[in-house]
Amino acid sequence: MARKKRILVTGGAGFLGSHLCEKLVDGGHEVLCVDNFYTGDKENLAGLLGSPRFEIIRHDITFPLYLEVDEIFNLACPASPIHYQYDPVQTTKTSVHGSINMLGLAKRLRAKILQASTSEVYGDAEIHPQDETYWGRVNPIGPRSCYDEGKRCAETLFFDYRRQHNLSIKVARIFNTYGPRLRPDDGRVVSNFIVQALTNQPITIYGDGQQTRSFCYVDDVIDGLVKLMDTNDEVVGPVNLGNPSEVTMMGLAELVIELTGSRSAIEFKPLPLDDPRQRQPNIKLARDRLGWGPSVPLRDGLVETIAYFENFIIAADRAGAAA
């Protein structure tokens, strides 16, 4: 029987973090969720609040934290452009100062620590698909740099702590992820399209709609994170976690309209600065070393996500009517 552990999840009230907390608690572990609730929401953790194996701490990881744990999943950082560009200095500090504080905690405890990095470290990539050996093409002074370069610096810190202090680290590069608990106001393409479609507003496509992304359902990504953490110390990463099935923004918009039965028209707007033209993971390393690959098709995952947003919008309408 696997040993039950005491596990810290930073950013645990967020989209990915809350799903990870649930999986770890369901696995019999004790979970400490740390979040400053800048983008996280306690409602995401409603199903865990009665569990004796779950605890929430309100804390900003740019300040030191002193706990006793066996493992750390470092997920804290706003991940959507609207939120990470709102306070770019704080975004950078969360990735850099936050990583230093969590690495310091892991060093003191000799605990294994996983960094949730991002496909944004590849920037507007010159190779396609992107594998872990590619160093990326990132603008260091643009409006997305606080997130892109912050995550790149966090990876540097993790590997330097491994080299200098022999710390047990894991680094996952997470590609576009979607599913229930995405915030309707986060500006990410899946939530934007679904909310616009459900309310019959114009679906906003930036650019000509031919730029591509690869979308992975949240359950698959969480499974990959847990498998990476549970592998032996020889598998350090970075490891791409994402779905290699590529779709254009126009194709995604048409699929969302179909699944929602929406009357929305499609509206084109200028492409934002430094927005990547294409994004697709090479996941050979994850398949070979973790035995991991995505299992949820895009259509099936969108059906689940649309149902979540339908309930969210209905609840918001009822609350507004009662006010």
Mean pLDDT across the stretch 102-110? 98
Q: What is the pLDDT of residue 274?
A: 60
Assigned domain for 212 exists: no
- Write the CB contacts of 246 (distance below 8 Å, at least 6 apart in sequence): 212, 213, 214, 278, 280
Assigned domain for 171 exists: yes
State percent of the chain over pLDDT 70.
95
3-state SS assignment for residue 135: coil
CATH code: domain of residue 29: 3.40.50.720
Q: How many domains does the chain have?
A: 1
Q: What is the pLDDT of residue 278?
A: 79
Assigned domain for 155 exists: yes
pLDDT, tens digit (0-9, with 9 covering 90-100), for 233-278: 889 999 999 999 999 999 999 999 999 999 999 999 887 766 667 7
Q: Can you give the pTM of this predicted structure?
A: 0.93
Q: What is the pLDDT of residue 314?
A: 74
Assigned domain for 145 exists: yes
Contact 170, 210 (CB under 8 A): no
Assigned domain for 67 exists: yes
Assigned domain for 77 exists: yes
Assigned domain for 201 exists: no
Which of 38, 84, 122, 147 is catalytic? The answer is: 147
Domain holding 237, by residue range, is: 6-180+217-244+281-295
Query: Token digits for 170?
Result: 């894991």
Phi, psi of 134 (to 5 degrees): -75, 130
Assigned domain for 258 exists: no
Catalytic: 84?
Answer: no
**Average pLDDT of the chain?**
93
Q: What is the pLDDT of residue 320?
A: 61
CA–CA distance, 232 with 228 (Å, rounded to integer): 9
Q: What is the pLDDT of residue 302?
A: 98
The b-or-e profile of 268-304 (16+ CB within 10 A means b, else e) is eeeeeebebebbbbbbebbeebbebebebebeebbee
Of the candidates 228, 264, 261, 224, the residue with the CA atom closest to the CA atom of residue 244: 224
